[in-house]
Structure 1
């Protein structure tokens, strides 16, 4: 737990960092309009210098990064041999080093795996979190916080979500999409910059938002995250993560066969949905709450938030077989909570499901 921002008036510190400053809904507005930034103390920074860094990452990950240009942003997934998601990271390269931003709970495991995969290549992955931290907000807001630039290029990762990247595939429509107007970026900053930000906020010279505000904006944009939406069974198709984190025509990588097979020949067994929750009660459901169709458990809540415009919202992963028009409920502390389903990944997700079949041509009758 960090107490760096405890000096800021109204600060509530929970878990990895600043949860809110007493006005979560107002902080969401300020974060969305660019008048506030959020210290993302639940993120870690990994640095990968070395001449082979991009081609090496390209051979390991779901995304094509071999030709990533300095300053260009993308994200990648590390999959197991069965195509299940093991790790996820945001990536920006400055021409000398590839910089990865990872969820705090995944960073050590991701780094450990990368170190095992070096072989004799010219790469040197390391944890850079002791020197660097992450600040989030709109592109303009984070550009003003003083991003680190160890090799002359400011380290700012701009979220590609929800645009469909080259080689990607979006199961949810590109338009309308609740995230299409979302402006989100994350700056890698020196630790001293983070301390200066805390001092300025304590003096009332800088407006901050907490982690709960950043999460609410993410949930409302249907944006998946490793720390929340990924479990031991998750594959990219289920979370609509094919649009930004997977390149369908790049070279071989671990788990590629499953990615291609599910996309071209089958359907993901589960699908992510957005839930509009009944707000008449005073409490939100917790992450991990069961989603039910009648009495049957059909899924799990992965993220939940009170959004400043939409009210109580959630993301959940449910069985593919659940009808899109089904009325669902979520287990609450005292009583079930009604949940209106918004389709993100449709039940027929999979490229061939959307390709009309040619009519079968009957065998010609023999000539008489």
Structure 2
């Protein structure tokens, strides 16, 4: 196997912008509101397609079935790709929403639950996230206010955000991105989202988007929102390389790498690696002939567990997320 890149899957949404095409080099229509670029995905209706090398045109699910642990690594016991990687351009507010856990999603939809993390790639000065209920507000208080058609916007916690901030959003946690931000999202492969509130807005056809009130309240959990921001634990630092652990849990480990000039590494056969460029530019190449991929902000590369040696080169500074399981 070799360094893999994929065709991005675009998602046109009411809150999306044009930055993914104009700034992050995605091959999308600049006249459309594209909110998400699904970079690596193995879902039945959204399956990433290889865009380079001899496997060009093959789906990610095909690679998983054909190559198994060569691609995924020995730690992965699933028969599907266990993560979904997105780039989000939130020009406007997303709905206030919540995701189900594994048990509820499996029972209700025969799908996976959803835990995710957000890493802020860019944000304007007034950018905020909404995460969780205020300490003195209960789930019952929120439900009563919704049913009485009261304003519920003062019942949540709001967090100012800046470049480099990261938050973990577990299933059952109420959340929303409130616009003016570009965010990398690492999540369990699921497309189940329950909208609780959508700011009373209408879509381009003059209709309100569907809400999922009953399901939302079935899955909302009491979660301390202030424990969800990453404190970024430094793992290594010298004049050439800095590594900070952003989050590490049962689903994935996400690390922030900052390098000057070049970085050499080798896969360990235990896990695939995902490289997502946050800032700077350069290239990544393996020992396999003609296996070089140009890197710029927003670029995502899948490194098979069995690849072996690779090197990331830059004329200067490059910053990326490295994700493993």
TM-score bracket for this pair, using the shorter chain length: under 0.3
TM-score, reference length from structure 1: 0.24
TM-score, reference length from structure 2: 0.26
- Larger Rg computed on CA atoms: 1
Looking at secondary structure, tell me which structure has more strand per residue: 2
